[in-house]
C-alpha cells in the first residue's frame, strides 16, 4: 500500500493507524508548498486534491474515517476497532465523523477560508472565530464524547490516532490544551506509543 500524506496534515492519523496495525506500506509525501496536491499527477490519484489517499490492491481510498476503518478491518488481529460489535463500531464511526465533519472544518477556517468565501473581511472574521469554535468542539469531546482512558473506552482504537492528530492543532489555533485534562492526558500518553513516535517522524519532513 502507498499512503500519500503531507507532514502537518490530518494524514498523520492514517500513518499512526498503519504503524499500529503493523502492515507494510510506503509513505509518499505530497508537497503542499509547491501545491503538488493540485498537480495533474496527484489529481489522478485523488481528484479532490487532498490528503490522505491510500493506494491499495483494489483501488484508492480517500477520507480519513474511511482509511482508518479500512486499516482496522484488514488487520483485525491488531484490534484497532470493535468490528464484531455493530453498535460499538457505529460509535467509533460517529466519533471519527465528528472529527472529520466538524472539528477539522472548524480548524480549516484559519487557513482555508477561501474555500467558503472570497471576501477578505469575511475570511478574517472566520479566522478570528477559530479559537472559539475549536474550544467549543473540544469542550464537547472532553465532557461528552471521550470515554476514557482511550477515546472509545478501555480499547485503544483508530479513533485515538485521529484525536491525537487533531488535538495537535489546538495550540496553533489559539486554544490551551490543558483546558481539557482528559484530552491533554491522552495526548501525552499517545506520544509514548512507539507506533505514534514512528509516525511522527514523517511530520519532521516539512
CA torsion through residues 116, 205, 174, 144, sign: positive
In tens digits, the chain (206 residues) has pLDDT values of: 999 999 999 999 999 999 999 999 999 999 999 999 999 999 999 999 999 999 999 999 999 999 999 999 999 999 999 999 999 999 999 999 999 999 999 999 999 888 899 999 999 999 999 999 999 999 999 999 999 999 999 999 999 999 999 999 999 999 999 999 999 999 999 999 999 999 999 987 65
Domains and CATH numbers, the chain: 2-79+198-204 (3.40.30.10), 86-193 (1.20.1050.10)
Indicate the pTM of the whole model: 0.96
The cell for 66 is 474511511
Three-state secondary structure call for residue 26: strand
Three-state secondary structure call for residue 45: helix
3-state helix, strand, coil in the chain (%, to 5): 60, 10, 30
CA-CA distance, 54 to 30, in Å (whole number)?
13
CA-CA distance, 99 to 14, in Å (whole number)?
14
Question: What is 146-193 written as a DSSP string?
Answer: --SSBTTBSS--HHHHHHHHHHTTTGGGT--GGGSHHHHHHHHHHHTS
76 Cβ contact list (under 8 Å, min separation 6): 83
Cβ neighbours of 154 (radius 10 Å): 8
The cell for 155 is 480499547
Q: At what angle do helices 64-74 and 11-21 cross, to 10 degrees?
A: 0
CA-CA distance, 42 to 97, in Å (whole number)?
25
Amino acid at each position: 500500500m502507498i499512503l500519500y500524506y503531507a507532514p502537518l496534515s490530518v494524514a498523520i492519523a492514517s500513518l499512526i493507524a498503519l504503524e499500529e496495525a503493523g502492515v507494510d506500506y510506503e509513505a509518499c509525501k505530497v508537497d503542499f508548498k509547491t501545491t503538488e496536491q493540485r498537480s495533474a499527477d496527484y489529481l489522478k490519484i485523488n481528484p479532490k486534491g487532498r490528503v490522505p489517499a491510500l493506494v491499495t490492491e483494489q483501488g484508492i481510498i480517500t477520507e480519513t474515517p474511511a482509511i482508518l476503518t479500512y486499516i482496522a478491518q484488514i488487520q483485525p488481529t491488531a484490534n484497532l476497532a470493535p468490528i464484531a460489535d455493530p453498535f460499538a463500531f457505529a460509535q467509533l464511526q460517529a466519533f471519527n465523523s465528528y472529527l472529520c465533519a466538524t472539528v477539522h472544518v472548524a480548524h480549516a477556517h484559519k487557513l482555508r477560508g477561501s474555500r467558503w468565501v472570497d471576501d477578505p473581511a469575511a475570511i478574517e472574521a472566520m479566522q478570528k472565530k477559530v479559537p472559539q469554535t475549536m474550544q467549543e468542539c473540544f469542550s464537547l469531546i472532553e465532557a461528552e464524547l471521550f470515554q476514557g482512558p482511550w477515546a472509545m473506552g478501555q480499547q485503544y482504537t483508530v479513533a485515538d490516532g485521529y484525536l491525537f492528530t487533531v488535538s495537535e492543532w489546538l495550540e496553533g489555533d489559539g486554544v490551551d490544551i490543558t483546558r481539557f485534562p482528559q484530552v491533554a492526558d491522552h495526548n501525552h500518553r499517545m506520544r509514548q506509543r512507539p507506533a505514534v513516535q514512528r509516525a511522527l517522524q514523517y511530520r519532521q519532513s516539512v
